[in-house]
Structure 1
Amino acid sequence: MRTEPGFWGKKWRQLAVAAVGLGLAGCNVSASENNAAAPNSSQLGPAPTDTAVPTATPLPDSLALTPVAPLPALPDSVRQAVQLLHKQLGPEAAALRPEVLERACVGYLALRQEGRIQQGGVLAVADMDLPSSEKRLWVLDLRQGRVLHRSHVAHGRGSGKLRARRFSNTIKSACTALGFYRTQDTYGGKHGLSRRLRGLDAGQNDNALRRYVVLHAADYVSRQHLQRHGQAGYSRGCPALPPDQYRAIINSLPEGACLLLAGPGLESKWLDGAAAARQLAARGWR
């Protein structure tokens, strides 16, 4: 079969454009990594194909969420306060699973009890078990019981495709790391206004500062990218934000605020129901 001249050249150009569109540009990197060679095709893995998957074969990116069990031995005072909060948050928090919110609130209260979080009344939680096609980040005003912001957020390219399945604290893993974070200072980086994050779970996300895991804007979380590809692109481990929302989100989480990146396998010493109950009794959500 004959093909028109330049057919394959056009085809490869189309594939190259698609690869750029998938958001392979990543998060802020250290000076030593700025001069690193671009990843080759073997590092990026095989290119996607249009081959149909038989209906009897489970898709690798299932949309079935990983079940989250309620926290054991959680004092009723905390559980009831979280249930009331979820109700107050209204429709904007309907997709925020109660069990994920429960973990976020318990960790926030325990961290406030220990003085590890200085900004009271605000909490950000991202359910990274949800697909990146969905708005899975919420910034909450705990005192007023309202959603300040809801947005898409990217996961690391090492963590998966539509769904994040692998999580790592390892430097250069390009994975999202689960756990509680304390927001740090802001700076002007290559992505504009960015906010540093300090991981508060030893062995799970405490390399965040060394990995340059920050809140920043990314074109691969833009409306245009989502409309074109049906999902967000990938970071190098940062919870990257939409360009039209990142500044407001970053400013709503001042230094000393709490962020939880939740997902399958989350473990944290801050999921301490007794400490959360003491803080709630003493100061409420403040």
Structure 2
Amino acid sequence: MMLGSFNLVGCQPAQSSASLKHLAPAGAQQAGPTAGADSLLLTPVPAVAELPDTLRLAIAQLGTDLGPAAAELRPEVLAQACVGYLTLHPTGRIERAGRLAVADMDLPNTTERLWVIDLVQRKVLHRSLVAHGQGSGHLRARHFSNVEQSACTSLGFYRTSGTYGGVHGYSRRLLGLDKGQNTNAFDRYVVLHAADYAGPEYVRQHGHLGYSRGCPALPPAQYKQIISALPAGSLLLLSGPGLASRWLDGAAAGRRFARRGWR
């Protein structure tokens, strides 16, 4: 839903504490961060540690095979998503083989920065715009929090859960898998849902997307297909500056890939 007027609490800056001065006031959608915070220079993504060469090459080949639809999906972010998938699947925390979604929240919200990928068929099933929380910034998400009423996006890996009919219609619950980073997602009602402010028409009118209370809100024209493509037990990664996850285990991912590939 669109952000109402309430105090923002607990937003951690992605870079330095000085960047907090760019945080938009609660309820003041038109007042975003300064141009410096919305620089088009992307934050470098650290390489996943201990990633075997065989898996590194397989991820690079996957990126090539995904074709033009994944041209703006940074290789390092794709690697994060793939490593998380390979590390999490054997634990039973995710159950849908060969399916993942990844959003690069460091990209401007005017970019289609969400991808739903079939790893086995090696193709992009869906690509779309996705909104971030108002507490996270204006054009780009720069501040993140797991705290209730922060109105911030929470970085990390999520397991998709059941669907329900809410205020925004057909919606899907999300369960955070990164302790301290997104594990309050269920209590914060962070879900996949549609929003008029998350579509291309809103961008044409305002020059940027609107903001949620922390949900990765989707365009009305695509949300049903995307939610249906991520049935319960699927993996979603919200990547961004400062992402740290125990599931980014290159060695464990390499062992799993050697045994089973992407299945």
TM-score (norm 1): 0.82
1:73 is displaced (CA, Å) by 1.9
Alignment match of 1:134 (pick from 111, 135, 152): 111
Q: Deviations over 1:93-127 (max 9, x none)?
A: 00000000001100010001212110011110000
1:39 is displaced (CA, Å) by 4.5
Contact 1:113 1:275 in 2 (8 A): no
Aligned amino acid, residue 43 of structure 1: A
1:72 is displaced (CA, Å) by 2.3
Structure 1 residues 19-34: aligned runs within 5 Å: 25-26=2-3
* Deviation larger for 149-158 or 40-49: 40-49
Contact 2:196 2:202 in 1 (8 A): yes
Partner in structure 2 of residue 69 of structure 1: 46
SS in 2 for 1:44: coil
TM-score (norm 2): 0.89
1:273 is displaced (CA, Å) by 1.2
Q: 1:43 to 1:87 in 2, by over 3 A?
A: closer
Partner in structure 1 of residue 68 of structure 2: 91
Alignment match of 2:27 (pick from 44, 54, 59): 44
Listed as ranges, the gaps of 5+ residues in structure 2 are 8-23
Distance 1:146 1:47 in 2: 37
Partner in structure 2 of residue 232 of structure 1: 209
Alignment match of 1:257 (pick from 230, 234, 254): 234
Alignment match of 2:193 (pick from 216, 220, 223): 216
Structure 1 residues 1-286: aligned runs within 5 Å: 25-26=2-3, 38-39=5-6, 43-45=26-28, 48=31, 59-286=36-263
Listed as ranges, the gaps of 5+ residues in structure 1 are 1-23, 27-36, 50-56
SS in 2 for 1:43: coil
Contact 1:113 1:276 in 2 (8 A): no
1:44 is displaced (CA, Å) by 2.7
Quote the RMSD (CA, aligned, Å): 2.0
Give the structure with higher Rg (CA).
1
Aligned amino acid, residue 151 of structure 1: S
Q: Which runs of 4+ in 1 moved over 6 A?
A: none
Q: Deviations over 1:173-228 (max 9, x none)?
A: 00000000000000000000000000000001000000000000000012211111
Q: 1:38 to 1:183 in 2, by over 3 A?
A: same
How many residues align structurally? 246
Aligned amino acid, residue 227 of structure 1: R
